[in-house]
Every structure is written in C-alpha cells, then in structure tokens.
Amino acid sequence: MRRGRAVAAAVAVLAVAAGSLALTRLGPGEETGGAKNTGLPPATAPVERGDLRDSAQADGTLGYDKQRKVNAGAAGTITWTPRTGSTVERNERLYEVDGRPVRLMYGAGPMYRTLKPGDNGRDVEQLERNLAELGYTGFTPDEEYTELTSAAVKRWQKSHDAKRTGKVGPQDITFAPGKVRIKSVGAGVGEQAQPGTPVLETTGSERIVTFRLDVAESRLAKAGTKVTVDLPDGTTASGKVSSVGRTAKPGDDPQDDSPKVTLTVSFDEPDEVDGFDQSPVTVNLTGETRRDVLTVPVNALLALPGGGFGLQVVRGGTVREVKVELGMFAEGRVEVSGGGLREGAKVGVPKI
C-alpha cells in the first residue's frame, strides 16, 4: 500500500512529539500565542489555502467477475469442450456428453431437476423467460410448467435436432447469471463425466479489479466511490468501487498483519480494458475533499506540553508559537485553523 493518509500523518506527528524536530516547544506555564524570540527555526514553509484530498493507492489484480464452476449434469463421456478464453452466450453449447450438447441459459438459480408439466418453482420461471427471449412463446412466464411450456420446449428441441420430449433437465441446460467466459476446462474430451463433478471453470465477461485495503482505510472506498486504475500498458482507466467485502482478514504480508477487506472495481468503459488477465494494476482512490482550507506541512506541527498541537509562525525575524486545531491529513499536509493563521504566513519546519 502506498498512500498519503491519516495514519502516516499521525506517525509523523508522533515523531514530532518525540523531539525529532529541531523546533522550540512551549514550556510549562508559558502562554500559547504570546510573542517570543526564542531563535528562528531551521527552515520555513508557507501556509497554503486550497483543496485537500484524502487519497490512497493500492495494488490490485485485473481479472474477470463471477468466477464459478460448471458441474456435469449427466454421466457419460465428454465429447466436446469450448476453447479456453472463449465466451458462451444464451442457448450456445457449454460442453457435450455422449454427443449431447448442454446449453447455457440465464438465471441466478441452479438447474437441479428435470422440469416437466405439473412442476412449479423459480427454476420453471427462469426456463420460461429464456424460452421467451429466444422466441419460443405461447405461454405466460411464471412458476408453473404447463402443456404450453412443454410445447415451447418441443419447438426449442426441434430447432437443435434433439429428441422432442417436452422436458428439460441438467443434461440439457445449465444456468448462469449471464454470458460466461471459459477460464479453464476441468474434464477434457474423452474423459468420463459424473453428475456433480466439475467440467468447466467460468467467469463473467465483465473486466474487474480486486484489491485489499486496511479496514482503517475502507472509508476511502465505499461502494460507488470513483477511482482510476493504472493498467500494465501505462494507460489509465476510470471506474468505481462496485463491492466492499464484509469480512476482514489479515493480509498475505507477514510483516503486516492488520485486518484488510477485499474490494472490487468495475470500469466505466469496459471495452477500453482488453488483453490483460490476472495482471497487476494500481488503484488510485480519492476519498474526502476539504475545499478552501488552510494547510501546512505535517512536519511543521509541534506537540504542546499541555496537549494539542501548535505551530511556529515566523515574521520579521521573530517567532510566535500558536496553538491550532487540526483537520484532515492528506498529501503530506494537514488542515489547520485558529491561531490567527493567514494564507502566505511562514511556519517553521525542519531543515531539509
């Protein structure tokens, strides 16, 4: 993780408190905001006014969405499989067993039984909606498998030179949420298939990026957050966070056991992202933006003995220490207010 964020800023502040900065600190009983001439700091930086953006970068992986396995619906010999990387759409062959094609239909539920007249259920409605989309109508798509549904099935079977039974089972179709991409073939031509054993591994056709983020930083990446992704060819694509995991797990790095959540990014223009699979990318996130605020470098902060933080304001060869309120940390700077600060004022910082 490479980021300008509050955690890093807090570490810098602690370093200040530990005395790493060669700046004067207020002593016990001294009044904040009083004029002092305790010596000039090693260097100065201006107080700036502008927008401050809380941003972060994360390493991600470019791939495809909705990975799933396709299990055999009947026993027999695998006689055809699709090419790895190819795309299969509604009504197209996914694989063949004993020369009998198993075709893809769209639906969220599984194909787990042979459907026939008299059956009822959501799987019936899924089948009927697919038949209607393919032009095999004459019924009302609902959860009831009627003789009208059977008649439509027979017409569909005839169009594929299949036996006209009016019934449909796992040996005929399988359901997936949409068109699929063939990631790998689990059972090759000539191998034996058994019901429930994997034949193919598929993904959705949409390109996505997955990445992990510290739980403390998840506020930067809520669902819908706009991001940019640096691709392997040097180009950048825009997108948004489409999902945020609900379970936090330690990362893979043994040096960093902080809990992390998994996030997914979808692209605004998927067609722009082509030719890459399982490739490393960089996700750029921009969280909250504080507009028209005063900011100073983080290392300008002084830890005050009585608590809180201050700055050394340098003017006309004199130094005045003022107490300030802190806002957002980002981009190596911190939002400050109070102490009579103005844009362009000079504050003490360590010598670079």
Question: Residue range 136-165: average pLDDT?
Answer: 97
Q: How many angstroms separate the CA atoms of 149 and 140, rounded?
A: 9
Res 20 pLDDT > 60: no
| pTM score over 0.75 | no
If you search the block for the tokens 């605020």, which residue do you land on? Answer: 293
Torsion-angle region of 20 (φ positive above 0: left; ψ -120 to 50: alpha; else: beta) = alpha
Which residues have C-beta within 8 Å of that of residue 346, sequence separation ≥ 6? Answer: 44, 45, 46, 47, 313, 314, 315
For the chain, what percent of residues have pLDDT higher than 90? 64
Tell me what pLDDT residue 15 has.
43
Torsion of CA 105, 106, 111, 113, to 10 degrees: -70
Instruction: Provide the pLDDT confidence category of residue 132 given band limits of 50, 70 and 90.
Output: very high
If you search the block for the tokens 């700036």, which residue do you land on? Answer: 48
Tell me what pLDDT residue 208 has.
92
- pLDDT-wise least confident of 111-115, 274-278, 280-284: 274-278
pLDDT tens-digit map of 153-204 = 999 999 999 999 999 999 999 999 999 999 999 999 999 999 999 999 999 8
Res 276 pLDDT > 70: no
Tell me what pLDDT residue 13 has.
44
> How many C-beta neighbours within 10 Å does residue 343 have?
11
Query: What DSSP state is assigned to residue 300?
Result: G
Question: Residue range 97-124: average pLDDT?
Answer: 97
Q: How many angstroms separate the CA atoms of 67 and 204, rounded?
A: 7
Using an 8 Å Cβ cutoff, are 294 and 336 in contact?
Answer: yes
If you search the block for the tokens 């010598």, which residue do you land on? Answer: 351
pLDDT tens-digit map of 22-50 = 333 433 333 344 444 457 899 999 999 99
